[in-house]
Amino acid sequence: MPLFATSANLFVKPARSPDSPKRRRTHRRDPQVNENYDVVVVGGGAAGLSGAVALARSRRSVLVVDAGEPRNAPAGHVHNYLARESTPPAELLAIGREEVLGYGGEVVRGEVTSAAALDGGGFAVGLGDGRTTQARRLLVATGLVDELPEVAGVAERWGRDVLHCPYCHGWEARDRAIGVLATNPMAVHQALVWRQLTDDVVVFSHTAAEFDAEQLDQLAARGIRVVAGEVAALRVEGDQLTGVELASGEVVAREFVVVAPRFTARAGVLEQLGLEPVETVVGGQVIGSTVPADPTGATEVPGVWVAGNVADLKAQVVISAAAGLTAGSMINADLVAEDVRRAQSRFSHEVEREVAALVGGPDRHGV
């Protein structure tokens, strides 16, 4: 085995299996789609691609339809993904697509605009450009939309120095001046978690309801200051966030701002199939919506699975990938059961007797 070394590490590069995707790659992205697939995966993020790999490795015909709009596109890197730490989001998805292709799956750029159950089982799927296909099962991994607070500068800096998840971006903001924009009941929790990463945290009360005495005591105990008043805008100088401007005109110097978006499931395709998203409520306030499913991703509509943020607004990238794998394996098991039922219906004892009667006639028992 060849050895590869860096200044800090020495590691062995394992031999690649001759059956691994990179060696056996014979497929390509094709703008055409077949008439039928075992599974159509709607959404080519971590959840959708992970499910597609599991299905393709089980020798299922799989089509992934990806609109190319990943939720984490503004972020520079993916974190907390074992063995893929600090991988750029686009690179992670490119690797995933190659893995799907390597196992015989198909990936096309496009948007699924229609999905309907067929009378004989399965689903008709339509793409925005007019292409159509059918699938025995659907895996919908369309993710969610981050609806950001309407404060000037928030959308423009989102994923850079306007953040949400401390586990996704906290290390990079350690020991820096952080402001928490309070818009929902999770603001105090956010501030306390981010306080683990820096001792300079300020909460801007903004549009949130007043904090109760216990919350104020918690913040004070951790040295977190509360600034009253509505936030008007973020200050940016030289492509760097420098402060938070209040409606009063006061500017509080900050290097990062933490917000709490409303997490809205991208459920258009699922709604066409009769699956309505349900609201997630915290402290009497709606913070988002998801499409209900069981722990395997199976929904109330037979044959339809969901995975990733469309079903779990808290899922980070690695959790979404795990959910895709779970759903993919369950879909394969469901198809195996259906294949067995079909085989049994084609070859039963009763069918065997009927065939023997047709072939052998009245003398069949003497054959």
Residue 126 exposed, middle or buried by CB count within 10 Å (0-12, 13-18, 19+): middle
Residue 1: count other Cβ atoms within 10 Å of its Cβ.
7
Mean pLDDT of 69-97: 91
> What is the span of the domain harbouring residue 216?
149-258
List the structure tokens of 96. 């995933």
Q: Specify if 4 maps to a domain.
A: no
pLDDT digits (tens, 9 = 90+) for 212-270: 999 999 999 999 999 999 999 999 999 999 999 999 999 999 999 999 999 999 999 99
pLDDT digits (tens, 9 = 90+) for 147-187: 999 999 999 999 999 999 999 999 999 999 999 999 988 89
Q: Specify if 302 maps to a domain.
A: yes
Q: Looking at 258, 291, 311, which one is the last position of a domain? A: 258
Domain identity same for 50 and 135: yes
**Given the structure tokens 């402060």, which residue do they identify?**
243
CA dihedral 322, 328, 331, 332 (to 10 degrees): -130
Domain identity same for 227 and 238: yes
Cα separation, 219 vs 191, whole angstroms = 8
Q: Specify if 362 maps to a domain.
A: no
| DSSP-assigned letters across all residues of 61-126 | -EEEEE-S--TTTTSS-B-S-TT-TTB-HHHHHHHHHHHHHHTT-EEEE--EEEEEE-TTSSEEEE
pLDDT digits (tens, 9 = 90+) for 310-356: 999 999 999 999 999 999 999 999 999 999 999 988 766 666 677 66
CATH number of the domain where residue 67 is located = 3.50.50.60
**pLDDT at residue 346, rounded to an integer:** 78
Measure CA 223 to chain center.
36
Mean pLDDT of 126-137: 96
Q: Specify if 113 maps to a domain.
A: yes
Domain identity same for 154 and 140: no
Q: Band the pLDDT of 3: cuts 50, 70, 90.
A: very low
Cα separation, 15 vs 228, whole angstroms = 60
Nearest CA-CA partner of 93 in 348, 266, 289, 317: 317
Nearest CA-CA partner of 161 in 110, 53, 236, 248: 236
Nearest CA-CA partner of 79 in 170, 166, 168, 163: 168
Domain identity same for 169 and 251: yes
Q: Band the pLDDT of 357: cuts 50, 70, 90.
A: confident
Q: Specify if 355 maps to a domain.
A: no
- Locate all alpha helices (DSSP H) within 257-315, ordered by sequence: 268-272
298 vs 72: which has the higher pLDDT: 298
Strands (E), 195-297: 201-204, 225-227, 231-236, 241-246, 251-253, 256-258, 262-265, 278-282, 285-290
Q: Specify if 282 maps to a domain.
A: yes
For residue 211, pLDDT beyond 60 = yes
Domain identity same for 44 and 187: no
Q: Band the pLDDT of 24: cuts 50, 70, 90.
A: very low
For residue 129, pLDDT beyond 70 = yes
Domain identity same for 124 and 173: no
Domain identity same for 140 and 161: no
**pLDDT at residue 16, rounded to an integer:** 42
Domain identity same for 136 and 54: yes
The mean-pLDDT minimum among 15-19, 51-55, 295-299 falls in: 15-19
Domain identity same for 235 and 296: no
Number of domains in the chain: 2
pTM of the predicted structure, to 2 decimals: 0.86
Nearest CA-CA partner of 185 in 254, 277, 256, 288: 288
Domain identity same for 242 and 186: yes
Domain identity same for 172 and 238: yes
Q: Specify if 110 maps to a domain.
A: yes
Domain identity same for 136 and 166: no
